Amino acid sequence: MGGTLPMLNAPHHTSVRRSVGNVFDRNSLAGMRASVERTTHRLLDRFEEELAYGPADFCAMVSEELPVITIGEWLQIPRADYAFLRSLTHDQVYTQELFPTPSQLALSEESSRQLHEYFTALVEERRKRPGNDPVSSWLRIWDTQEPDREAADRAVYSLALFMLLAALETTSHVLSGTVRLLLEHPRQLNWLRIHPEQIPDAVDEVLRYDAPIHMISRVAPEETELAGVTVRKNEMVQLMAGAAHHDPAHYAAPETFDIRRRPAHLGFGGGIHFCLGNALARLEADCLLTALLERLPGLRISAPPRWEPRVAFRRLITLPVARV
> For position 43, what pLDDT does the model report?
98
User: Is 90 exceeded by the pLDDT of residue 238?
Assistant: no
User: Is 90 exceeded by the pLDDT of residue 42?
Assistant: yes
Amino acid at 180: R
pLDDT band at 148 (very low <50, low <70, confident <90, very high): confident
> For position 143, what pLDDT does the model report?
87
The residues pairing with 323 across neighbouring beta strands, listed in sequence order, are 299
DSSP 230-282: EE-TT-EEEE-HHHHTT-TTTSSSTTS--TT------TT--GGGS-TTHHHHH
The better pLDDT of the pair 11, 237 is held by 237
Whether residue 61 contacts residue 43, with contact meaning beta carbons closer than 8 Å, is answered with yes
Q: Does CATH number 1.10.1740.10 belong to domain 5-212+277-323?
A: no
Length of the chain: 324
Tell me the pLDDT tens digit for each residue of 240-266. Answer: 999 999 999 999 999 999 999 988 898
Average pLDDT of the residues in 76-93:
95
Q: 25, 127, 116, 35: which is closest to 73 by C-alpha? A: 35
User: Hey, where are the domains in the chain?
Assistant: 5-212+277-323
Q: Which pTM does this prediction carry?
A: 0.90
| Portion of the chain with pLDDT greater than 90, in percent | 65
Average pLDDT of the residues in 118-144:
93
CA distance readout (Å), 147 to 142, 153, 154: 9, 11, 13
d(CA 301, CA 322): 6
